[in-house]
Amino acid sequence: MRKMEEKILNEGKVLPGGILKVGSFLNQQIDTEFLKEMGKEIARLYENEEVDKILTIEASGIPVAVAAGMEMGVPVVFAKKHLTSNVDGAFYSADVHSFTRDEDYSVVVSIDFLLPGEKILLVDDFLANGQALNGLLSLVKQAGAEPAGVAVAIEKCFQGGGDEIRARGIRVEALGAIESMSDNEIVFRSEI
Ligand code: 5GP
């Protein structure tokens, strides 16, 4: 998505440790007009797939997932990173290692919101090593649901998580796909 590449080039900041900061439009302040476009683009990419529901992970995945869900007319479920009183009764859970914070956490979702046989589109803001999405894929599997595919705002291809998921036969789409990045250069994966 050309506009995503422009936003990353104009507003993104590369931090040490391979982290891209996009707080001005995605991770802290949200560019709501652009968010709408992200939702439309995800809906366009998956228009020929059967999608019953979108699953994301709190917190930064939620806006992108909701934008896509509104375009596609499907509900959005977000996995919680901590077991709270909002998750009562039985739940599915998976362990995830956080790339940005270098710590482990669990993702949990109530069994009421992922049903056997449902086709689930997984959405997140970033795809790096794939830990977060692998956690969500585990929740989908535990529920007996099926992944319809993955859509992320930004994939950092050089970390390999996206290709590992593709190698499992799951479709992965990124609105911006970064092949490499350094202080003074960001190179995008060219679309085939
Ligand atoms: P993964 O689990 O694929 O290694 O990392 C994905 C998760 O880590 C995303 O949910 C995102 O919140 C966070 N993340 C990974 N890399 C970056 C990055 O470069 N910038 C930001 N802002 N978040 C990232």
**Ligand 1 pocket test, candidate residues 100, 155, 186, most atoms within 8 A of CB:** 100
pLDDT score for 187: 97
pLDDT score for 191: 67
DSSP helix, strand, coil percent of the chain (3-state; round to 5): 35, 35, 30
Ligand 1 center to residue 50 CA distance, Å? 27
**pLDDT values of the chain reduced to their tens digit, one per residue, 192 residues:** 999 999 999 999 999 999 999 999 999 999 999 999 999 999 999 999 999 999 999 999 999 999 999 999 999 999 999 877 676 789 999 999 988 888 999 999 999 999 999 999 999 999 999 999 999 999 999 999 999 999 999 999 999 999 999 999 999 999 999 999 998 899 999 865
* 134 Cα nearest atom in ligand 1: 2
Residue nearest atom 19 of ligand 1, based on CA coordinates: 19
**Considering Cα of 144, then 100, then 75, then 121, what sign does the dihedral take?**
negative
Q: Which of 127, 121, 136, 135 is nearest to 157 (CA)?
A: 127
pTM over 0.95: yes
Supply 137's token pair. 């894929």
Residue 94 is given by DSSP the state E
Going through 84-188 in order, the beta strands assigned E by DSSP cover 91-98, 103-110, 119-127, 146-156, 172-182, 185-188
Residue nearest atom 20 of ligand 1, based on CA coordinates: 20
Residue 152 is given by DSSP the state E
Q: Which of 57, 56, 63, 54 is nearest to 34 (CA)?
A: 63
Residue type, 53: K
Q: Which of 145, 144, 106, 100 is nearest to 122 (CA)?
A: 145
Residue nearest atom 17 of ligand 1, based on CA coordinates: 19
pLDDT score for 143: 98
